[in-house]
Amino acid sequence: MKIRILAFGVVKEFMNSSSLEMDVQEAITVAALKAEFEALYPEIKKLKTYLVAVNDTYAGDDETVDANAEVAIIPPVSGG
Amino acid sequence: MIDIKLSDTPLDMAACIGNAADDACGGQVIFAGTVRNKTKGRRVLRLEYECYQSMALKEIKKIAENAIRLWDIRRIVIHHRVGVLGIGDTAVVIVVSAPHREAAFEGCRYAIETLKKTVPIWKKEIFEDGEEWVSAHT
């Protein structure tokens, strides 16, 4: 299935884009998605940490992602 | 009452205070986060903020709801800037109104500390000799 991934901050910069379409297996877990993303963009591993949000909510590694989900890569936040 | 906003124009401190006014409240605590001119000795020229809008609003709302649940707070206003900010500009305003000051102080502190940890907003510091996304790397 195809999913769209949103990128922000430093991730957007090293991706050179604010979004990316990835072709992944059905019901992929967040952990597996992170592994695929890291393979595509090894720069992400240089970050202090990062999280994944699914449909506007932080998602744990075991959660699954379905085809219509909005997925975002969340590098360390720095608001305020 | 909760009033939250992400704004690409300057924050209106007086409006934030006015929106938090409540006759039942005897204490109002205001926190304003402003752009500092130096980071670790390097001169900062400006900050560039961006956010994941839908999620940022949702996370800010969660903070406001939790503050009201955890302390005896009647009103909370959280407004955050995005876009390009110069030295001295206001990046965030939080106003908490409570019948008594203790709850207002604690709720306001909770709101800014949690915002800095959970809300998907990012800032890039632009220095004289380079630029850096804050907190991204170790």
Residue extents of the structural domains in chain B: 2-128
Contact A34, A52 (CB under 8 A): yes
Strand, coil or helix: B122:
strand
Taking any CB pair shorter than 8 Å as contact, residues of chain B touching chain A are 33, 49-52, 54-56, 58, 80, 91-92, 112, 115-124, 133-138
Contact A34, A5 (CB under 8 A): no
| Minimal C-alpha gap between A5 and chain B (Å) | 12
Write the DSSP assignment of chain A as a string of letters: -EEEEEE-HHHHHHHTSSEEEEE--TTEEHHHHHHHHHHH-GGGGGBS--EEEETTEEE-TT-EE-TT-EEEEEPPP---
Check residue A50 and give its pLDDT.
Answer: 97
Q: Which helix (H) or strand (E) holds B98?
A: strand B90-98
Check residue B38 and give its pLDDT.
Answer: 95
Spatial distance between the Cα atoms of A57 and A61, rounded to a whole number of angstroms: 13
What does the DSSP 8-state code read for residue B54? H
Has this prediction a pTM greater than 0.90?
A: yes
B122 has pLDDT over 80: yes
Of B33, B55, B135, the CB nearest to A76: B135
Assign residue A75 a region: left if phi > 0, alpha if psi is -120 to 50, beta otherwise?
beta
What are the helix and strand counts (H, E) for chain B?
Answer: 3, 9
Q: Are strands A2-7 and A70-74 parallel, antiparallel or unpaired?
A: parallel
The ipTM estimated for the assembled molecules is 0.95
Q: Are strands B2-7 and B75-81 parallel, antiparallel or unpaired?
A: parallel
Mean pLDDT value across chain B: 97
What does the DSSP 8-state code read for residue A75? P
Count of structural domains, chain A: 1
Tens of pLDDT, residues B43-88: 999 999 999 999 999 999 999 999 999 999 999 999 999 999 999 9
Mean pLDDT of A1-17: 96
pLDDT band for B138, please (50, 70, 90 cuts): confident
Domain of residue A69, CATH code: 3.10.20.30
pLDDT band for B25, please (50, 70, 90 cuts): very high
Tens of pLDDT, residues B26-45: 999 999 999 999 999 999 99
Give the architecture (CATH level 2) of B2-128.
Alpha-Beta Complex (3.90)
pLDDT band for A55, please (50, 70, 90 cuts): very high
Strand, coil or helix: A74:
strand
Spatial distance between the Cα atoms of B107 and B112, rounded to a whole number of angstroms: 9
* Chain B residues closer than 8 Å to A79 by CB: 49, 51, 56, 80, 91-92, 115-116, 119-123
Residue A39, domain extent: 2-74
- Sequence length of chain A is 80
pLDDT band for B18, please (50, 70, 90 cuts): very high
Whether A61 maps to a domain, the answer reads yes
Backbone angles phi, psi at A22, to 5 degrees: -120, 145
* B96's tokens: 């908490």
